[in-house]
Amino acid sequence: MTVLINGKAIAATIKEELKAQLSARPRVATLAVILVGNDPASSIYVNNKHRACEYVGIRSLVMTLPDSTSQAELLKHIETLNQRDDVDGILVQLPLPAAIDSQAVIQAISPDKDVDGFHPQNVGALSMNHTGFLPCTPAGIIELLKRSHIEIAGKECVVLGRSNIVGKPVAQLLLRENATVTICHSQTKNLPHICQRADILIVAIGKPRAIDSRYVKPGAVVIDVGIHRDSAGLICGDVDFNAVQAIAGAITPVPGGVGPMTIAMLMQNCLIAADRHAL
Ligand code: GUN
């Protein structure tokens, strides 16, 4: 029997735990979110983050800026938020309009308010096993595996995708958990063959239903990070769920797998930021 890894339920448990911890704090934690432009997917993500904050008891300030916002204006807003003592976490929703240099924006966020874990200081901390903020989706994947009692140490893990947001950091976290890690990408040769080796296959390539049963070892754990809407209007992941479900040992659904975990980990990072801030 294939196990369905219920990210929605696990995220709900984490949010309950955080809600209890937050209610015991004398000072309310605050997250500031900046959304530039009107990308519909980004608006949905920001809304979901706002709702999660309200649920767990984090004060959420959402700043919506027009598509025409200049980089200088955006940097000025970030600087104000960096200085504000009542703001614990700052998140700038990506992608940004093409005229804005995302790296410059990420680097402008104070590393101790960088609840996305994207600032070079936090990226470096991750790679050196120092304390920093972990990026939310990779941290959510590890938490999903741990809370599903899936052993990571000594396992063959194959990561499909090498993005700064998911592929590279999740590979670092798996390494930290003592897995043997292979990172694959668009120029990897013999991709199905390498994927077949995986005890744990993490897929973050941004291509709807691209990974079918040819890529999966029988009994493997398959984590699907993708989210897309297909031509029929159905939400799907990077993995062809129906094809892979028959062969995998455990698999995350889309929706209801990794997505809710990303938000739960963001809430956790906000609590960590608030606690460090209160010191
Ligand atoms: N866009 C897609 N994923 C993310 C994320 O985790 N954080 C931010 N800020 N933007 C995103």
pLDDT in the model for residue 1: 86
- Residue 51 three-state SS: helix
CA nearest ligand 1 atom 9, residue: 93
d(CA 33, CA 89): 8
| Domain boundaries, given as residue ranges, for the chain | 26-111, 136-258
227 known ligand binder: yes
What 64-70 contacts at long range (C-beta under 8 Å, 24+ apart), as own/partner pairs, is 64/35, 65/34, 65/35, 65/36, 65/37, 66/36, 66/37, 67/36, 67/37, 67/38, 67/97, 69/36, 69/37, 69/97, 69/100, 70/99, 70/100
Pocket test for ligand 1, best of 31, 34, 45, 269 (most atoms within 8 A of CB): 45
93 catalytic per annotation? yes
- Ligand 1 atom nearest the C-alpha of 165 is 6
| Domains 26-111 and 136-258 equal at CATH topology level | yes
Residue 226: CB atoms within 10 A of its CB come to: 24
**Which CATH number applies to 136-258: 3.40.50.300, 3.40.50.720, 3.50.50.60, 3.40.50.10540?**
3.40.50.720
- Residue 129 three-state SS: coil
71 catalytic per annotation? no
pLDDT in the model for residue 279: 77
pLDDT tens string 214-241:
999 999 999 999 999 999 999 999 999 9
DSSP track, 191-254: HHHHHTT-SEEEE----TT-B-GGG--TT-EEEE---EE-TTS-EE-SB-HHHHHTT-SEE--S
DSSP track, 61-126: EEEEE-TT--HHHHHHHHHHHHH-TT--EEEE-SSPPTTS-HHHHHHHS-GGGBTT--SHHHHHHH
Domain 26-111 = CATH 3.40.50.10860: yes
- Ligand 1 center–CA 59 separation, angstroms: 19
Q: What ipTM does this complex have?
A: 0.93
CA nearest ligand 1 atom 3, residue: 94
pLDDT in the model for residue 209: 98
CA nearest ligand 1 atom 4, residue: 94
88 catalytic per annotation? no
For residue 29, give every residue at least 6 positions away whose Cβ sits within 8 Å of its Cβ, in sequence order, or none: 22, 57, 58, 59, 88, 89, 270, 271, 273, 274
- Ligand 1 center–CA 220 separation, angstroms: 28
CA nearest ligand 1 atom 1, residue: 94
Residues of the chain short of pLDDT 70, as ranges, are: none
- Ligand 1 center–CA 246 separation, angstroms: 31
d(CA 199, CA 218): 9
Q: How many residues does the chain have?
A: 279
